[in-house]
Amino acid sequence: MSLPLADRRILLVIGGGIAAYKALDLIRRLRERGAGVCPVLTRGAQEFVTPLAAAALAGERAHTDLFDRAEEADIGHIKLARRADAVVVAPATANLMARMATGHAPDLASTVLLATTLPILIAPAMNVRMWAHPATQRNLATLTGDGVRVVGPNTGAMAEAETGPGRMAEPHEIADALEEMLGTGTGGIGFLAGRGRAGPLAGRRVLVTSGPTHEPIDPVRYLANRSSGRQGHAIAAAAATAGAEVTLVSGPVTIPDPPGVRVVRVETARAMLAAVEAALPADLAVFAAAVADWRPAAEQGSKIKKDGSAPPALQLAENPDILATVAGMRAGRPRLVVGFAAETDAVLEHARAKLARKGCDLLVANDVSPAGGVMGGAANTVHLLARDGSVETWPTLDKDEVGRRLVARFAQVLGAG
């Protein structure tokens, strides 16, 4: 049997905390599972472990300096950021997380993290109070919003004789989380569709729409909206983690694809409808996309020029309603159809009307007024409405958490039906 991480190369960024000693054990664990490990140590990490120890265990050179001339000539930090299958940051200190969240890159480790497009897994480790601090929690929300995976921290006794969350996950837990992220483990979520997955949505097919649509006016201009795609992507990620086989139909977004999900990229509402129809059948369909209601009636083949006369009038045509189309299907309708409603005022009133008008089973109403959580932001304040008239209002939560809680509810409804 081949090893779960055979032929995988892992860039291991070791941060400067007492848990750095466990990073040495992590190198061994990763190599036992077949991975090649390239260690990068921050200056802080070198106060706790030496590059020599990391290199000896990895069986290859450990990297430390951004401005090491020999190193740059040899491979350079950009290549370092590319020549692997994943990046693991362990321990991820509060400082390193802050640098990652803000894109501040004063050293080799943070430069590599900024330059990489590889999947990233972080194993936070810090003092309990530092972990609980709103700044760290904000950075965590930013990082997860950027698609970074997190393992731990665990709760337990800490170096400073305090107890609480902050201990770095154990090396075997980090290795398991990495396998899950890469889809190489036996119970892992996999980048491809869900063979052999476990979880409350195991064996279910899930379709999610996400992001805005772009409706072209001419070759250089389009109509769009402020949707970031974060909420839809978070739902798709949570559904994959729950064991589902997920197709995500996404409009143009700048956030990374969620792991373990089949992603179909589209631009316009009409293309989104076609991709949704092609992705059916599904057990659950969640329409989180902010589909443009209208498109320019005629797309100009060449750029509209100012010609000194009045500004051009934009004639609009209505786009197909994707949610209403699927919710109204006579044959092959998904068992659970969930709509979203982004409202700025009279949220519940509009949401109730929308639930009935669209014909969906559940409606997630989110308040996109400045007080509720501006559209495109990291947090969301949602109300969950059901056809029987019930309404649940949730506290303002990080969109990943909203995604996880929604998926847990959908699984409950599907399980009960």
Least distance in Å: CB of 42 to ligand CTP? 43
Give 44 or 251: the residue with its C-beta nearer to ligand CTP.
Answer: 251
Q: Round to whole Å and give the CA distance between 324 and 207.
A: 15
Least distance in Å: CB of 324 to ligand CTP? 7
Give 24 or 327: the residue with its C-beta nearer to ligand CTP.
Answer: 327
Task: Mark residue 238 as left, alpha or beta (left: phi above 0; alpha: psi -120 to 50; beta: remaining).
Answer: alpha
Q: Round to whole Å and give the CA distance between 10 and 15.
A: 15
Q: Round to whole Å and give the CA distance between 160 and 175.
A: 26
Give 53 or 263: the residue with its C-beta nearer to ligand CTP.
Answer: 263
Give 82 or 270: the residue with its C-beta nearer to ligand CTP.
Answer: 270
Least distance in Å: CB of 219 to ligand CTP? 23
Residue with the shortest CB distance to ligand CTP: 322
Give the torsion sign (CA, 65, 94, 241, 270).
negative
Least distance in Å: CB of 337 to ligand CTP? 9
Least distance in Å: CB of 231 to ligand CTP? 11
**Site residues (CB under 6 A) for ligand CTP?**
209, 269, 287, 289, 291, 293, 319, 321-323, 339-342, 354, 358
From the list 95, 139, 225, 380, the catalytic residue is 225
Single out the residue of 268, 270, 273, 232 nearest to residue 251, CA to CA.
268
Least distance in Å: CB of 354 to ligand CTP? 6
Give 27 or 206: the residue with its C-beta nearer to ligand CTP.
Answer: 206
Give 62 or 347: the residue with its C-beta nearer to ligand CTP.
Answer: 347
Contact 264, 275 (CB under 8 A): yes
Please provide the size of the chain in residues. 417
Neighbours of 400 (CB within 10 A): 22
Contact 334, 359 (CB under 8 A): no
DSSP state, residue 46? G
95 belongs to the catalytic site: no
Angle at CA of residue 106, ends 102 and 107, nearest 5° = 120
Contact 378, 230 (CB under 8 A): yes
Burial of 114 (0-12, 13-18, 19+ CB in 10 A): middle
Pairing of strands 284-287, 205-210: parallel
**Catalytic positions, written as ranges:** 225
